[in-house]
Amino acid sequence: MVNCRISPDRKTCALNLWNCGWDVEDICFALSVSRSSIYRWHRIFEEHGNVIRPPSPLVGRTRAITRAVLTAVRTIYEQEPDIFLDEMCTYLAIEHNLIVSSSTLSRNLIEAGLTRKRLHKLAIERDEELRDEFKEALRTDFSGDGSEFVCLDETSKNEHTYR
């Protein structure tokens, strides 16, 4: 038979028929399931009390960098956005007693949504004096009708071409 998804109701029905005294071959024919599937469902039911095996609690790799360390890294990037990954690895080794490679740190930062672009943006936006200057410039230097502003789309811009 082809591997296919069988509903829990059908599995329970097969086990109920078996417990009522039906022959395994008759159950296989009536429900279009294999003999080995019935034995496997019975074993799972005996072990877990349900025909569906519970999900394994061990899913994925263990996280080397905790949320507290990621928060500390984010704070450092907000204060000093130009820090390199190897410098951050040294900081983590000294301050948090956590030895990780730069590739591990990079992967964990990306998984946490802390890409270099986003961290740099956060650092720039956190400068309160600069933000206040910008707001004041909007209030004083522009007439308010919006004709002074020009919108640009720089999604395809790079540093190698003038387009």
Instruction: Find out whether 77 and 123 touch, Cβ atoms under 8 Å.
Output: yes
pLDDT, residue 54, reads 87
pLDDT, residue 42, reads 93
pLDDT, residue 58, reads 72
pLDDT, residue 107, reads 85
Mean pLDDT over each residue of the chain, to the nearest integer: 81
Instruction: Find out whether 91 and 76 touch, Cβ atoms under 8 Å.
Output: yes
pLDDT, residue 79, reads 77
Give pLDDT tens digits for 152-163. Answer: 666 655 566 555
Model-level pTM? 0.39
The terminus-to-terminus CA distance of the chain in angstroms comes to 59
Instruction: Find out whether 123 and 81 touch, Cβ atoms under 8 Å.
Output: yes
pLDDT, residue 62, reads 64
Boundaries of every domain in the chain: 8-48, 67-125
All residue ranges of the chain with pLDDT < 70 are 1-2, 59-64, 116, 119-120, 122-127, 144, 146, 151-163
The CA distance from 13 to 42, in Å, is 11
